[in-house]
Amino acid sequence: MDSYSSSSPPMGASPSPEALMEQIQAQLAEAYAKELIETMREKCFDKCITKPGSSLSSGESSCISRCVDRYLEATGIISRSLFSQQRR
């Protein structure tokens, strides 16, 4: 399902400002999620995969798991800090 289908106005009608804002927020959230996943994939792969092959070793698997967990935790801390500063 794409982000355009849920609240599209009839042909020739202008979408409400609220609908536009929701659409923009949904598109930004999607872009942020894609960027987050790509960044984690790159950083954790580079850090944890020493010899690419057909499967992950147990050490590589646990390294990736820890790397992703730390990256998500750090991103959450940064996001909460930024949002709290914006509210002040």
pLDDT at 76: 92
Position 24, amino acid: I
pTM, rounded to two decimals: 0.66
Q: Cα–Cα distance between 79 and 70 in angstroms, integer?
A: 14
pLDDT in tens, 16-29: 889 999 999 999 99
Q: Which domains does the chain have, with CATH numbers?
A: 17-83 (1.10.287.810)
CB 7 within 8 A of CB 19: yes
Mean pLDDT of 46-51: 92
Q: Cα–Cα distance between 80 and 74 in angstroms, integer?
A: 10
Q: Cα–Cα distance between 45 and 39 in angstroms, integer?
A: 10
pLDDT at 3: 47
How is residue 35 written in tokens?
């960027």
Q: Is 5's pLDDT higher than 80?
A: no
pLDDT at 74: 94
Q: How confident is the model at residue 1 (pLDDT cuts 50, 70, 90)?
A: very low
